[in-house]
């Protein structure tokens, strides 16, 4: 069950979206891309091993996930949102920030030449600079769209929150996110 159906409908015919089920593929892949899967895997090592087995020689596994989220002291609802998600994900056995372990897990699975890069995205509508205009709105849009999907299942299933409570928390976080003087930083 996909609680937040965000997969695009217009994709090439050779693109599929799979959600943690048995890998019964006969063919091998040139690229496996795993982005935004925070708190999605109960067994990350198993995923890495499966990916390694299903790549053709020279194939690549590319992962990107949230390592850390930090926010200004002036945005307590954003901080509360993040802390509750981390607590619930921990309760679920799917800790947030597990992306920091991806390199070691990939090496253990058999990958060679593994590189790790950490990017810091400042989330603030006051970013300045030549390319900031487009980037700042994309980052804000990304964060705005992920508030509810990241929170709903985790807070409801593992912390016992009601849907209206989760929506209220997300709305408060969204408002702080969009305020001019507030900021947050995504570490990807």
pLDDT 10s digit of each residue in the chain, 188 long?
333 455 666 777 777 666 556 777 788 889 988 877 777 778 889 989 999 999 999 999 998 877 777 776 767 788 888 889 989 999 998 888 778 888 999 999 999 999 988 877 776 655 555 555 555 566 667 777 888 888 998 999 999 999 999 999 999 988 887 775 556 677 76
| Domain assignment of residue 101, yes or no | yes
| Domain assignment of residue 24, yes or no | no
**pTM to 2 decimal places:** 0.72
| Domain assignment of residue 73, yes or no | yes
| Domain assignment of residue 70, yes or no | yes
- Of the candidates 63, 62, 67, 119, the one whose C-alpha atom is nearest the C-alpha of residue 98 is 67
| Domain assignment of residue 83, yes or no | yes
| Domain assignment of residue 90, yes or no | yes
Do residues 64 and 32 make contact, with C-beta atoms less than 8 angstroms apart?
no
| Domain assignment of residue 18, yes or no | no
Q: In terms of residue numbers, what domain contains 171?
A: 29-187
| Domain assignment of residue 146, yes or no | yes
- Please give the tally of structural domains in the chain: 1
């Amino acid at each position: 069950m996909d609680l937040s159906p965000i997969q695009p409908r217009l994709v090439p015919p050779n693109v599929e979206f799979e959600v943690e089920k048995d890998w019964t593929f006969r063919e091998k892949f040139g690229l496996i891309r795993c982005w935004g899967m925070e708190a999605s895997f109960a067994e990350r090592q198993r995923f890495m091993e499966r990916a390694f087995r299903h790549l053709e020689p020279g194939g690549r596994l590319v992962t990107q996930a949230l390592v850390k989220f930090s926010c200004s002291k002036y945005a307590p609802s954003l901080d509360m949102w993040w802390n509750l998600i981390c607590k619930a994900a921990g309760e679920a056995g799917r800790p947030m920030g597990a992306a920091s372990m991806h390199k070691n897990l990939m090496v253990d699975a058999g990958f060679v030449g593994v590189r790790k890069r950490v990017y810091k995205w400042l989330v603030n509508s006051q970013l300045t600079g030549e390319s900031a205009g487009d980037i700042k709105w994309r980052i804000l849009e990304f964060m705005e769209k992920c508030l509810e999907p990241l929170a709903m299942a985790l807070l409801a299933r593992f912390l016992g929150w009601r849907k209206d409570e989760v929506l209220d928390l997300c709305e408060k976080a969204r408002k702080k996110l969009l305020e001019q003087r507030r900021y947050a930083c995504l570490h990807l």
